[in-house]
Amino acid sequence: MAFRYQRLTRALLDDIQKGRWQAGDMLPSVRQLMQRLQLSRATVLHALGELEAQGWVEAQPRRGYFVNPRPAKAPTATPSSLEAAPRLLSIDDVVHDVMLKGAAFDLLPAESRFDAKPPAIELLHRAISRAMRHTKGAQHQHYEDPAGLPELRDTLAHRLRQQGCTSQAADIVVTHGCQHALLLALKSCTQPGDVVAVESPGYFGTLQLLQELGLKVLELPCDPATGLNPADVAKALTQWPITALVLTPSFATPTGALMPLEARLALAALAKQHRLTLIEDHIYAELSFSSAPLPPMLALAPEHTLLCSSFSKSLSRDLRLGYVAGPAFTKRLAQLKQITSLASNRLIEQGLDEFIRRGDYDRHLRREQQSLRVQRNALLDLLAQHFSDCHHRVPDGGLCLWLNLEPELDTLALYQRARQEGIMITPGPMFTSQQGLYRHCLRLSFAHPWSGPRRQALARLRVLVDGLKRGGKSEI
C-alpha cells in the first residue's frame, strides 16, 4: 500500500496531467487539502514538495503552489527498450575510471580523508580483533564451509525473517560483497546467450557482469519514484525469452526509486506464472529515512528469488562481505562460491556476527539513517541554490538522486571537464547499455557530509555546466 503522501502526490499529478489545473493555476491551499482529505499538514507538504522537486509546481511565498508550464520533454528520460531487441553490450571505460578514483559516491574523493569515522567502525574492529585472539589450535590452517560461518548465516537469516522472509541459515551463502553475490546469482540461473532484463537506468555493476558472462541485456524503463512497472515486465515476457530479471526494489541506484507494495506483488505473480528468476539487489533496503519497511521480493516469491546484499553501503566499503539467499538455488550457489573463492574470511565473519548480535549494527543503522537524511536535505538545499532549473525527485532513502540537466547537455563532456579539476561525477550513460541515452543526466550522492570543499565543488560544477551550454567556455 502506498503512503498517504504518495497517494496525494499521484492524485494531484493526475489532475495536472488531465488538465484540471493548467499552467499558472494555483492548487488548493495546504489548509484546504488538509480539511478536504483529512490529512496532516506534514503529509500535504510532503506531497507538494514531491511535485515541486519533480518540476510540476512552484511554491510562491505567501501565495501558495502554482502549476508550472508543461515541460517540452518529460522531467526524466526513459528508454525505448521494449522496442529494442536484447543484445550483448559493452561498458564504457568511464566506469573503471570512476571506480579507480574511489568516486562512485563522492563528488570530491580527496575530501574523504577529512570525514569523521563512524563510532561503529571501531566497535567492528574490536569484534574482529577478539575473533583473532580467540582462534584456537590450527584453525587458521583450514578452509571453512564455502557457504560461510553457520553462526553468521543464522544471524542473517534471522534479519531476513524480521523483514517477512522465511529464510533459514541453510538458504544463505556468504560472499565477498554484493557484486560477488550478484555474480553467483546470475551464474546459478543463466547460461551464456540468455536474455536478462534489467532496470533502466540501472546499476552499472550489473551491466558489467552481464557483459562478462555473455548474457543479453534487455533494459526496461523505470519511473524515478516507483521503479519498474509490472505491466512493462509482462509485455516484455510476451516478446522475449527472459530468463532472469535483476531489480532493486528499495532505493535503486541511480534514481533512488522505491517500488510500492502493489507493484512487488504483481512482479511476484509474474515470476510464478512465467517461472522467471528474480535477482533482487537488497543492498540499500536498510537505508530508509521514514518509510515503513516493505517486504523484499524474497518474501513474496521465495522459490523464484535470489536476494543479494552486503554491508558495504550501510557500514563500510572496506567490509567486503555480503550474502545471497535463495532456497531453490542454495546447492548451486555453494558450489559456485567454492569455485570462485574457495571460502570466506572466518575471522571477519565471526567479528561481524558478534557486532550484529550485540546490537551494534542496529544502533549504527539508526545513526546512519539520520545522518544520510541530513545530508540528503543539505544536497536538496544546494540544488535549489545552484541547479534550480533542473529536475529531480526526492528519494526517501538510499544514497543518491538522479539529476536531469537540460536535454542538450552532455554529461560525458562534463565528466571530462570536471575531472580535470578533481571533481568526479557519475554521468548518465554509465547506467545504460543504450547509446546516447541519459546523456543529460547524472547521479548525485549524499553519502558524505557536505563540507565546505564539497559545497564549492558542486557550485563549480554549475559553472562548468553553464560553460558547456555556451559552447565549451567556462568562467574562471
Q: Tens digit of pLDDT for each residue in 295-326?
A: 999 999 999 999 999 999 999 888 889 999 99
HEC string of the chain equals CCCHHHHHHHHHHHHHHCCCCCCCCECCCHHHHHHHHCCCHHHHHHHHHHHHHCCCEEEECCCEEEECCCCCCCCCCCCCHHHCCCECCCCCCHHHHHHHCCCCCCCCHHHHHHCCCCHHHHHHHHHHHHHHHCCCCCHHHCCCCCCCCHHHHHHHHHHHHHCCCCCCHHHEEEECCHHHHHHHHHHHHCCCCCEEEEEECCCHHHHHHHHHCCCEEEEEEEECCCEECHHHHHHHHHHCCEEEEEECCECCCCCCCECCHHHHHHHHHHHHHHCCEEEEECCCCCCECCCCCCCCHHHHCHHHEEEEEECCCCCCCCCCCEEEECCCCHHHHHHHHHHHHCCCCHHHHHHHHHHHHCCHHHHHHHHHHHHHHHHHHHHHHHHHHHCCCCECCCCCECCEEEEECCCCCCHHHHHHHHHCCCCCCEEHHHHCCCCCCCCCEEEEECCCCCCHHHHHHHHHHHHHHHHHHCCCCCCC
Rounded Cα–Cα distance for residues 444 and 168 (Å): 37
Bridge partners of 65, per DSSP, are 59
> What is the residue-averaged pLDDT of the chain?
88
Average pLDDT over residues 216-238: 95
> Tens digits of per-residue pLDDT, 323-376?
999 999 999 999 999 999 888 889 999 999 999 999 999 999 999 999 999 999
Contact assessment for residue 357 and residue 363, using Cβ atoms and an 8 Å cutoff? no
**Nearby residues of 473 by Cβ (< 8 Å), 6 or more positions away:** 467
Per-residue pLDDT at 74 = 39
Mean pLDDT check: name the lowest of 19-23, 52-56, 205-209, 472-476: 472-476
pTM above 0.75, yes or no: yes
Average pLDDT over residues 395-408: 94
Per-residue pLDDT at 343 = 82
Mean pLDDT check: name the lowest of 60-64, 121-125, 406-410, 461-465: 60-64
Helices 261-274, 230-239: axis angle to 10 degrees equals 20
> Tens digits of per-residue pLDDT, 209-219?
999 999 999 99
Per-residue pLDDT at 113 = 80
What type of residue sits at position 304? H
Instruction: Please say if the pLDDT value at position 194 is more than 80.
Output: yes
Contact assessment for residue 276 and residue 244, using Cβ atoms and an 8 Å cutoff? yes
How many Cβ atoms from other residues are within 10 Å of residue 106's Cβ?
A: 20
Rounded Cα–Cα distance for residues 253 and 224 (Å): 10
Residues in the chain: 476
Cell numbers that stand for 14 in this block: 493526475
**Can you list the domains of the chain with their CATH numbers?**
4-67 (1.10.10.10), 119-358 (3.40.640.10), 377-468 (3.90.1150.10)
Instruction: Please say if the pLDDT value at position 261 is more than 70.
Output: yes
> Tens digits of per-residue pLDDT, 26-72?
999 988 998 888 888 777 877 787 787 667 888 887 788 889 875 44
User: Cell 557482469, residue?
Assistant: 209
Average pLDDT over residues 419-446: 92
